[in-house]
């Protein structure tokens, strides 16, 4: 029997290479998202991540928040170095088992003020991660602590001796999985997914209110077959304020053609063979959806949301990432939060 969490980790680590979106022979008139970056540019966002997991009749939901600073630390004709630094991180379990809440808060505190650096190309789009090697040892230690806690809880539920041979063998297996999860390519896929989206569409020059479609192959961070996917995106100018651009995207992995990549990634993560027929009947899907609100004159992202929905078997996971610029007086708010506040005020 394949551990469902291992299969989920392999699937959720799928990365992608954002292509150049400047449309050839686009019908005039077009609208361009101008590049916002120059040396010293600093943007401060309120960040919120929420994760909801449902398996059968079991449901869990968690939320993490922080203040996130995005800063250009280097600029040259080759491109830019962009740093992402979170401070004041807080983790909460909103529904479900709260056993890991303290550990996750400890994890957030340990990385408070630690920057993730990425390289942007000359056009301002994501190129690669910059300091993964520096972060890897600390992340490995944190992942191991989480794995040990999860294992002890699982063994305690089954009544097995948590200090005995069963635990030692299980921990040895988990250490191997953690080692593979903290390989550079896998860490880059996990840590920069939303950073890649954030930097993926800068520079598009397309006809507004039109939908563009791209068939692409997403790299597999574990090696092996790629993930065939279809990406659609569109740009619109606000009817209320012509200085506001709205850019939306939708990316879907082909559930049939991507099966080989999923099986290969699961095998690579577990470090052992996986019977192909054990996954063939397991229906899965992965969909990424997102929205940008962009200040048209400067190209600055004022609000950004990315939602990934992953399903396999009876398991569903929804990960929502949000950024809202805290400066500039743009006045944009999340509609669901505004509605909740209005309802609470009644």
Specify the pLDDT at position 266: 75
Least confident of 66-80, 122-136, 140-154: 140-154
**Is 47 within 8 Å of 63 (Cβ atoms)?**
no
Query: What are 264's strand-pairing partners?
Result: none
Query: What is the per-residue pLDDT across 307-345, written as a single tens digit (0 to 9) for each?
Result: 999 988 788 999 999 999 998 778 888 888 777 777 777
Query: What is the per-residue pLDDT across 229-254, written as a single tens digit (0 to 9) for each?
Result: 999 999 999 999 999 999 999 999 99
**5 or 281, which is more confident?**
281
Whether pTM > 0.75 for this model: the answer is yes
SS3 270: helix
Q: How confident is the model at residue 273 (pLDDT cuts 50, 70, 90)?
A: low
For the residues 275-302, what does the mean pLDDT come to? 85
Three-state helix/strand/coil letters over 131-197? CHHHHHHHHHHHHHHHHHHHHHHHHHHHCCCCCCHHHHHHHHHHHHHHHHHCCHHHHHHHHCHHHHH
Specify the pLDDT at position 110: 85
Element (H, E) at 5: helix 4-12
**How far is 184 from 144, CA to CA, in rounded Å?**
17
**25 or 262, which is more confident?**
262
For the residues 280-288, what does the mean pLDDT come to? 78
**How far is 177 from 143, CA to CA, in rounded Å?**
10
Query: What is the per-residue pLDDT across 38-63, written as a single tens digit (0 to 9) for each?
Result: 999 999 999 999 999 999 889 999 99
Q: How confident is the model at residue 82 (pLDDT cuts 50, 70, 90)?
A: very high
Beta-strand (E) ranges in 27-146? Answer: 31-32, 42-55, 58-76, 79-95, 115-121, 126-129
For the residues 158-183, what does the mean pLDDT come to? 77
Q: Measured on CA atoms in the order 285, 321, 296, 16, is the torsion positive or negative?
A: negative
C-alpha distances in Å from residue 179, one per residue of 63, 142, 176: 26, 12, 5
Give 173's contacts (C-beta < 8 A, 6+ positions apart): none
**How far is 334 from 16, CA to CA, in rounded Å?**
27
Specify the pLDDT at position 281: 60
């Amino acid at each position: 029997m394949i551990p469902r969490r291992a299969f989920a980790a392999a699937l959720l680590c799928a990365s992608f290479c954002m292509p150049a979106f400047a449309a050839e022979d686009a019908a005039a008139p077009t609208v361009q998202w101008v590049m916002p970056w120059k040396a010293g540019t600093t943007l401060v966002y309120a960040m919120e991540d929420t994760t909801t997991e449902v398996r059968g009749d079991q449901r869990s939901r968690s939320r993490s928040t922080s203040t996130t600073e995005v800063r250009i630390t280097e600029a040259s004709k080759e491109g830019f170095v962009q740093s992402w630094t979170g401070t004041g991180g807080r983790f909460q379990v909103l529904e479900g088992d709260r056993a890991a809440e303290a550990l996750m808060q400890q994890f957030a505190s340990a990385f408070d003020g630690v920057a993730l650096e990425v390289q942007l190309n000359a056009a301002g789009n994501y190129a690669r991660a910059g300091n993964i090697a520096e972060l890897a040892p600390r992340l490995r230690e944190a992942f191991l602590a989480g794995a040990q806690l999860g294992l002890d809880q699982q063994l305690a539920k089954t009544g097995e001796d948590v200090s005995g041979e069963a635990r030692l063998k299980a921990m040895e297996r988990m250490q191997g999985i953690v080692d593979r999860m903290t390989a550079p390519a896998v860490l880059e896929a996990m840590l920069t997914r939303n950073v890649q989206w954030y930097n993926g569409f800068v520079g598009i020059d397309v006809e507004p209110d039109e939908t563009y479609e791209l068939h692409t192959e997403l790299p597999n961070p574990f090696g092996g077959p790629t993930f065939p996917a279809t990406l659609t995106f569109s740009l619109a100018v606000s009817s209320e304020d012509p200085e506001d651009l709205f850019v939306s995207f939708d990316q879907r992995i082909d559930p049939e053609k991507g099966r080989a990549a999923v099986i290969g990634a699961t095998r690579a993560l577990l470090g052992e063979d996986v019977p192909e027929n054990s996954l063939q009947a397991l229906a899965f899907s992965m969909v990424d959806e997102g929205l940008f609100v962009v200040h048209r004159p400067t190209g600055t992202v004022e609000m950004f949301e990315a939602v990934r929905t992953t399903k396999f078997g009876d398991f569903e996971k929804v990960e929502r990432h949000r950024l809202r610029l805290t400066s500039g007086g743009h006045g944009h708010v999340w509609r669901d939060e505004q509605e909740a506040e209005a309802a609470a005020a009644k």
